[in-house]
Amino acid sequence: MEFPAELIRFLKKADRVSVLTGAGASQESGLRTFRDAQSGLWAQYKPQDLASPEAFASDPKLVWDWYAWRREAIKGVRPNPGHYALVEMENRTPSFTLITQNVDGLHRFAGSRNVLELHGNILRVRCADCGTFAEEWGDDTESVPRCGKCNGLLRPDVVWFGEALPRAELESAVVAARQSQVFFSIGTSGVVQPAAALAHAARNNGSVVVEINAEPTPLTPKADFAFHGKSGEILPELVKAVWGI
């Protein structure tokens, strides 16, 4: 793949680079994106209808089982070349921030260090009432496991629709987007707020905006560079073109 000399020059001399990733960055690891149809018994549900406090309140077992199924799916997957290319980019950029909407933990698993998980992490489980994290829980298939401290229901430590994002991570992400000289939007449809606003915050502060996504998104017309294809293929080629690795 050919990359514009201007982009290569920007990246070679950039001190501050920020990246936002979405489910597309994990797709080549074998994880479905949020917009993909669910498989098997989950086919009849839309993720938005399960990833919410209302869904958990009305049927905690259904929501708990959906996340248990997703946790199992994640145990079987590994980072893809796109995750590793982002580690290489971080190693060669003085100030690098990886902001992710993904809850699969694959960026850290690949070796990324400065990672902001805007939507939490599905492998962490906490009490819905007192917030205590649970390291292990009963595997009783009849009911949702309960907190060892207050007997509240356990839930995944992710941000559901309608829930506020973790303040510290969001504030750091906004600062990183605004201060970046180059801002990447990778594998995200740019629909979910407030994550989708980060690219515009970067652009409004003069960042060069680069989109890498399988298909055009609402950001595409506003990006300085847009590459449509698989991030697991494009990112390693971009890192090679800039740093020769």
Q: Between residues 9 and 35, which has the closer beta carbon with respect to ligand BV8?
A: 35
SS3 for 174? helix
List the interface residues with ligand BV8, window 55-94 (CB under 6 A): none
Q: Give the residue carrying structure tokens 């510290």.
A: 168
Residue 103 beta carbon to Zn ion: minimum distance, rounded to whole angstroms:
21
* Separation between Cα atoms, residue 184 and residue 213, nearest integer Å: 10
Nearest to 123 by CA among 27, 31, 20, 230: 31
Backbone angles phi, psi at 185, to 5 degrees: -115, 115
Calpha distance 97→183 (Å, rounded): 10
| Per CB under 6 A, 24 contacts ligand BV8 | yes
CA distance 86 to 113: 10
Write the binding mask 137 to 166 for Zn ion: x where contact by CB under 5 A, - elsewhere: ----------x-xx-x--------------
What the block records as the tokens of 79 is: 């980072």
Size of the site for ligand BV8 (CB under 6 A): 34
Per rule CB under 6 A, is residue 161 in the interface with ligand BV8?
yes
Residue 22 · residue 101 · CB < 8 Å: yes
Binding test (CB under 6 A) with ligand BV8, winner from 126, 146, 155, 230 = 230
In the list 14, 17, 19, 22, the residue contacting ligand BV8 (rule: CB under 6 A) is: 22
Structure tokens at 143: 């009911």
150 binds, among ligand BV8, Zn ion, none (CB under 5 to 8 A by kind): Zn ion
Does position 164 interact with ligand BV8 (CB under 6 A)? The reply is: yes
| Residue 228 designated active-site | no
Residue 90 CA to residue 145 CA, distance in Å, equals 39
34 belongs to the binding site for ligand BV8 (CB under 6 A): yes
Residues with a catalytic annotation lie at 119
Which residues form the interface with ligand BV8 (CB under 6 A)? 22-24, 27-28, 33-35, 48, 51, 101-103, 119, 158-164, 187-189, 191-193, 213-215, 217, 230-232
